């Protein structure tokens, strides 16, 4: 029986380590008093067994048992490669303008 584990989607900001990537996850939340939408970011170290992720890729990560001192996440899949991820973000900017 598999337990319910958290998943996140974020952008790879560093791939300098062997079999480890740093993934930055961004979310928006209203400020409790002023109600303005505030952008929050968190960085997670995630295990990338095949060293397939590159900087700028959009990836899905899943919570897992501790793999090292700071590594508690595992890369499940690469959602979009760097160039495709850049095109997606440009399209989002055009639609919001």
Distances (CA, A) of 81 to 15, 18, 53, 77: 14, 19, 8, 11
- Render 27-87 in DSSP notation, one character per residue: EEEE-TTT--EEEEEEEEEEE-TT----TT-EEEEEE-S--SSSEEEEEEEEEE-HHHHHH
Domains in the chain (CATH in brackets) are 7-96 (2.40.50.140)
- Provide the CA 55 distance to its chain's centre, in angstroms: 11
pTM here? 0.79
d(CA 87, CA 97): 16
Residue 55 is inside which H or E element, if any?
A: none
* pLDDT tens by residue, 12-59: 999 999 999 999 999 999 999 999 999 999 999 999 999 999 999 999
């Amino acid at each position: 029986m598999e337990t319910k584990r958290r998943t996140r989607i974020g952008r790879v900001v560093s791939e300098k380590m062997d079999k480890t990537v740093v993934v930055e996850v961004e979310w928006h939340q209203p400020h409790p008093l002023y109600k303005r939408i505030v952008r929050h970011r968190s960085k997670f170290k995630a295990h990338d067994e095949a060293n397939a992720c590159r900087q700028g890729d959009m990836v899905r990560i899943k919570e897992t048992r501790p793999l090292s001192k700071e590594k508690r996440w595992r890369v499940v899949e690469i959602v979009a490669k760097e160039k495709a991820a850049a095109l997606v973000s440009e399209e989002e900017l055009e639609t919001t303008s």
